[in-house]
Amino acid sequence: MAAPPLLTLQDVALTFGGTPLIVGADLAIAPGDRTCLVGRNGSGKSTLLRIAAGLVEPDRGRRFVQPGATIRYLAQEPDFSGHATALSFVEAGLGPGDDAYRARYLLESLGLTGDEDPARMSGGESRRAALAQALAPEPDILLLDEPTNHLDLPAIEWLEAELKGSRAALVLISHDRRFLQALSRATVWLDRGVTRRIEQGFSAFEGWRDAFFEEEERDRHKLDRKIAAEEDWLRYGVTARRKRNVKRLAGLHDLRRQRKEHRGPVGSVSLSSGEADASGTLVVEARDAAKSYDERPIVRDLSLRIARGDRLGIVGANGAGKTTLVNLLTGRLAPDSGEIRLGANVTLNLIDQRRADLDPAQTVADVLTGGGSDSVTVGGQSRHVVGYMKDFLFAPEQARTPVGVLSGGERNRLLIARALARPANLLVLDEPTNDLDLETLDLLQEMLGESSATLILVSHDRDFLDRVVDTVLIAEGEGRWTAFAGGYSDMVAQRGAGVQARTVAGAPRPEPRQGAKPPRREDAAPRRKLGFQEQHELKTLPGRIDTLSANAAKLRAALDDPGLYARDPARFAKVSTTLATTEADLAAAEERWLTLEMLREELGG
């Protein structure tokens, strides 16, 4: 018998500023659940999580928490007021009987000493302290809103391992696909104010969502055809049968009302870029370049060639010097020694993660047009600024909105919109995925895939790196940088380990408390040969991939039947769920085969 839920929300509704944000949301969290909460930016995910945490009172609906159940909520912007140090902030979240040592252990595991002044902490340090406060009491339920924001790869991978070993039920909001795939076992989708749930992790979500939208679109077309038929009857048949057909006329009005009130999927992002004339074959060349700060080497003996069309990903722990390296490669910073040369006809576009060059007083329209105009030129074509804004999910009335009142996700979308409107043949993106929703990330990936511009990308998003780049440059420490062919997963397979955390000055290496599970770490030792199980997988995976591909094709063919949903809704739901599972299994099998094949090649067969 399943354990009763620790937390339930039933038929929750909330309206902001006259516009319904949540109209009918349900959520049930049982002990040990691993649930991801997904939806577009602005769909109300963070608000729903705050309702679950008891911080926001809904207009309608019921919230129930089992007596004695403990809940911890991680906000996107934690409040440090009244705390002199990071340690005092974390200890304030402990309850009677909680292990006081765990607060310091978590801080040190996350790269902090505990003595940091909250008023002077960076965004990444603030996020780490807030995570430590949420995790320290070992609560029954953890509600985490974008826990990976501002974290580097070592911290993200440490957090994954820590949460996998936690007994707490989890509800996660995140734009990091790999993080969601690793931790979730159920998915709640908040769409147009309503929640829908599948008892599968994020890997199955996107196929299920797409099947839902396709069926919804078929239903909309059916409704349009029925309205057209009823209007034809109304014009030619209502006079002779007036009394008998009053009910049918009322039905037509009801159909029209349904069509008018139907809310389609939240507006889609349409990304296109303006490209400058092609650069020369050589875009950037570094020869024995070096750069140091306060006698600490950031770059040492770097020799690198970036050719036209290359897609370079730069990874490393926070503080490794990624931004300094980008500034060197783009000519914004001179090396201490060696040479860095830009090729001929290079036109640069840079998206800075700090968003420092956005004037808070400027309006959205002025940022895109440069001021004094209502049009923007994209790809050589002039477009009205409001139409271009809609491509990036901005409402027309936001044209005169000051940048200073936009959310983090909106500012990031605005930066991307501005950058893509400027002609460039070298795109430099420094953490472009922060605060973007998954659909926008998909479309940004497609735009980068279709663009002929050379790309330099700094990111902690492992999935985005795998999808976009063809070479990864990783910080090895002491100013050394090493290039690996492929994406992030390929780099890990070749190198034997991912990005390693930097040691914080003054922070002793944390010792796990008695009985605590240490975080999992990648084995950095090089492997000498494939094991028997790996050899067997490498031999059998191609056949499994073929079988899964054939099964997926059959399931898609079944869903292509436009009458399936009307005849048998239960079968449609079953086929949709099976297709999502099959596609997730197919993707996992293909990724596993690629990893093993890369390892086999590295080890010489």
Residue 259 pLDDT > 60, yes or no?
A: no
pLDDT tier at 41 (50, 70, 90 boundaries)?
A: confident
Residue 25 pLDDT > 90, yes or no?
A: yes
187 touches 200 (CB < 8 A): yes
- Beta sheet of 19-29, edge-to-edge order: 60-65, 7-16, 19-29, 194-198, 186-191, 34-38, 169-173, 141-145, 71-74
Residue 155 pLDDT > 70, yes or no?
A: yes
Asked, for residue 505, whether it belongs to a domain, the answer is: no
DSSP letter at 55 equals S
Q: Are 312 and 458 contained in the same domain? A: yes
- Residue 437 to residue 174: CA distance in whole angstroms: 8
Residue 360 pLDDT > 60, yes or no?
A: yes
Residue 526 pLDDT > 80, yes or no?
A: no
CATH at residue 550: 1.10.287.380
Give the residue, 530 or 540, on which the prediction is more confident.
540
Q: Please compute the mean of the pLDDT values over residues 241-252 and round it to a whole number.
A: 50
Q: Are 185 and 213 contained in the same domain? A: no
Residue 354 pLDDT > 70, yes or no?
A: no
Q: What is the pLDDT of residues 384-410, one digit of tens each?
A: 889 888 877 788 888 888 888 777 677
Give the residue, 347 or 256, on which the prediction is more confident.
347
Q: What is the pLDDT of residues 433-469, one digit of tens each?
A: 876 777 778 778 877 877 788 999 999 999 889 888 8
Q: Are 538 and 452 contained in the same domain? A: no
User: Among residues of the chain, what percentage have pLDDT more than 70?
Assistant: 81
Q: Are 346 and 490 contained in the same domain? A: yes
Q: Are 196 and 216 contained in the same domain? A: no
Q: What is the pLDDT of residues 292-333, one digit of tens each?
A: 988 889 999 999 999 988 999 999 988 888 989 999 999 889
Q: Are 27 and 132 contained in the same domain? A: yes
CB within 8 Å of 453: residues ≥ 6 apart: 273, 275, 424, 425, 426, 427
CB burial of 93-103 (b: ≥16 within 10 Å; e: otherwise) equals: bbeeebeeebb
- Residue 595 to residue 585: CA distance in whole angstroms: 15
Asked, for residue 20, whether it belongs to a domain, the answer is: yes
Asked, for residue 302, whether it belongs to a domain, the answer is: yes
Give the residue, 247 or 465, on which the prediction is more confident.
465
Q: What is the pLDDT of residues 202-222, one digit of tens each?
A: 999 988 888 888 887 787 767
Asked, for residue 155, whether it belongs to a domain, the answer is: yes
**Mean pLDDT of all residues belonging to the chain:** 81
Asked, for residue 390, whether it belongs to a domain, the answer is: no
Q: Are 243 and 129 contained in the same domain? A: no
Q: Please compute the mean of the pLDDT values over residues 256-273 and round it to a whole number.
A: 51
Residue 188 host element (H or E): strand 186-191
Residue 506 pLDDT > 70, yes or no?
A: no
Q: Are 45 and 146 contained in the same domain? A: yes
pLDDT tier at 97 (50, 70, 90 boundaries)?
A: confident
Least confident residue range of 65-69, 220-224, 474-478, 588-592: 220-224
Q: Give the pLDDT confidence score for residue 436 in this predicted structure.
A: 75
Q: What is the pLDDT of residues 224-241, one digit of tens each?
A: 666 666 555 555 554 444
Asked, for residue 504, whether it belongs to a domain, the answer is: no
Q: Are 439 and 578 contained in the same domain? A: no
- For residue 146, which of 102, 180, 119 has the smallest C-alpha distance? 180
Question: What residue has token string 């770059």?
Answer: 299
Highest mean pLDDT: which range of 211-215, 585-589, 595-599: 211-215
- Rounded (10°) angle between helices 569-602 and 532-559: 150
pTM: 0.68
Least confident residue range of 15-19, 100-104, 345-349: 15-19
Q: Give the pLDDT confidence score for residue 408 in this predicted structure.
A: 67
Q: Please compute the mean of the pLDDT values over residues 189-204 and round it to a whole number.
A: 92
Domain count of the chain? 4
Q: Give the pLDDT confidence score for residue 227 in this predicted structure.
A: 63
Residue 182 host element (H or E): helix 177-183
User: Among residues of the chain, what percentage have pLDDT more than 90?
Assistant: 31
Q: Are 201 and 99 contained in the same domain? A: yes
Asked, for residue 131, whether it belongs to a domain, the answer is: yes
Q: Are 458 and 553 contained in the same domain? A: no
- Residue 75 to residue 83: CA distance in whole angstroms: 17
CATH at residue 444: 3.40.50.300
Q: Are 318 and 453 contained in the same domain? A: yes
Dihedral over alpha carbons 87, 89, 95, 101 (to 10 degrees): -10
pLDDT tier at 502 (50, 70, 90 boundaries)?
A: low
Asked, for residue 313, whether it belongs to a domain, the answer is: yes
Q: Give the pLDDT confidence score for residue 243 in this predicted structure.
A: 45
Least confident residue range of 72-76, 266-270, 386-390, 421-425: 266-270
Task: Tell me which residue range forms the domain holding 481.
Answer: 282-359+421-495
